[in-house]
Structure 1
Amino acid sequence: MAELKIITMEDIPVTEVKWLWYPYIPYGKLTIIHGDPGDGKTMMILQLAAILSRGDKLPCDDTEREPIKIIYQTAEDGLSDTIKPRLLAGNAECSQIKVIDESEAALSMLDSRVEQAIIETGAKAIILDPMQAYIGAKTDINKANEVRSVLSQLGRIAEDYGCAVILVGHLNKSRGSKANYRGLGSIDFEAAARSVLLVGRLKDDENIRVVAHEKSSLAPNGKPICSSQEK
């Protein structure tokens, strides 16, 4: 049994939230980017990674920034034939983008290699795409207590190293539901995240993708962002 420890609020210092991309992605917290299959989630996150790898300005954010190191994990797309070509198309500085080798053992959110990789590389952002593939084989994504346990530990890593943890997720098929109830698995995924972005197609022009700020716990919601993407 754990020993009782009481914390007095008077002794807790006030800290300021730091941002990877204000107000969309905070440092030290969990962010979810989700959407329907084929609507451009991975393309959007790779474009974001490319910009961050160069240290360029981001949409709706004029902050001057330095290039950062990023860990990108994918369980769906090939690194050589899909991911790297897309990064190159976005003029990414590929030396800044790292991948944890999963050839001998699949990665999960609670794998010690996640924390080790952040320490070794100095990464300021880690992307898990899709998040459902990295929750862990023994975790039921529909059970709130199991999802919360995993995400709280991942959130602790994010906070300890000031690293933005970005989880890319699929939506379910319940078209009539509110967007924040359409993520696969427990609603606790969205509840644990401090920011949730939704990527979708514009109804009047399917070549236009829209990034909408669905949830923002730490700042006012950001403006929707549109981008053109040919088939």
Structure 2
Amino acid sequence: ASAGRLEGIDACDVLLSSGEESVDATQAPRLVAAEANLDKVHFIAPASDDDWGLTLPDDIAELAKMIQHTGARIVIIDPITTHLASGVDSHKDAEIRRAVAPLATLAHALGITIVIVAHLNKSESADLYVRLAGSSGFYNLARSVLLLTKDPEADEDDNAARLLTHGKCNVGPQQPALRLRVVGATIQNA
């Protein structure tokens, strides 16, 4: 989105909050490899070593200010569970709804897209509803759910083959699955 290469989407500012990956060591190099326009990517970084950065639902007002300040049209929160305030039980639907629903209100009010990344649990179930780690509230609140997994039809030793499936869509027709490959890249001075 930051480079404007997605069909039907002009280049736009993106606000990215990751609770697991270093901006300098991981996020920025991956974005460079993907040919992102880093001038349009704004990172929400913890203010100190004992600060976890964006906390939901506590920091909704601050997030709104950051969105307005950067002009971001897309916000990515990765993963959602590391951004939940202490005391929010990620396995309780009502608590997840209270913590995450303000994001939907914010997205609607500002006319933006918020992408929430959630990990899968260890269940063997093929049902995406069952596989999302934590509460079913994550799935239920989402308007659209995409699942990126290893391609089950790829050779067992092919670690680059992925399958992107559209597991849920409340705002339009469900789209067909896409097969893709993760391609490595060497980044200089990263």
Same fold (TM over 0.5): yes
| Residue-by-residue CA offset, 1:30-73 (whole Å, 9 max, x unaligned) | xxxxxxxxxxxxxxxxxxxxxx111113xxxx42x321000011
Alignment partner of 1:77 out of 21, 26, 47:
21
Matched, 1:167 2:120: no
Q: CA deviation at 1:219?
A: 0.8
* 1:218 corresponding residue in structure 2: 171
Root-mean-square deviation (CA), in Å? 1.5
Task: Please give the TM-score of this superposition, normalised by the length of structure 1.
Answer: 0.72
| Residue-by-residue CA offset, 1:117-171 (whole Å, 9 max, x unaligned) | 0111111111011111112212111111111111221111111101111011111
Measure the CA separation in 1 of the matches of 2:45 and 2:132: 28
Alignment partner of 2:55 out of 108, 112, 119:
108
Gaps of 5+ in 1: 1-51
Alignment partner of 2:105 out of 126, 141, 156:
156
More relative contact order in 1 or in 2 (CA 8 Å, sep 6+)? Answer: 1
Equivalent residues in 2 for 1:1-16 (5 A)? none
Task: Please give the TM-score of this superposition, normalised by the length of structure 2.
Answer: 0.87
Does the CA contact (< 8 Å) of 2:23 and 2:43 recur in 1?
Answer: no
Gaps of 5+ in 2: 185-190
Which region of structure 1 is more displaced relative to structure 2, 84-93 or 197-206?
Answer: 197-206
Amino acid at match of 2:179: C
Moved over 4 A (4+): none
Which region of structure 1 is more displaced relative to structure 2, 100-109 or 186-195?
Answer: 100-109
Measure the CA separation in 2 of the matches of 1:183 and 1:131: 11
What percentage of aligned pairs have identical amino acids?
Answer: 27
- The alignment partner of 1:109 has SS state of coil
Equivalent residues in 2 for 1:115-134 (5 A)? 115-134=64-83
- The alignment partner of 2:24 has SS state of helix
Amino acid at match of 2:32: L
Matched, 1:90 2:34: yes
Measure the CA separation in 1 of the matches of 2:171 and 2:44: 30
Alignment partner of 2:12 out of 60, 68, 71:
68
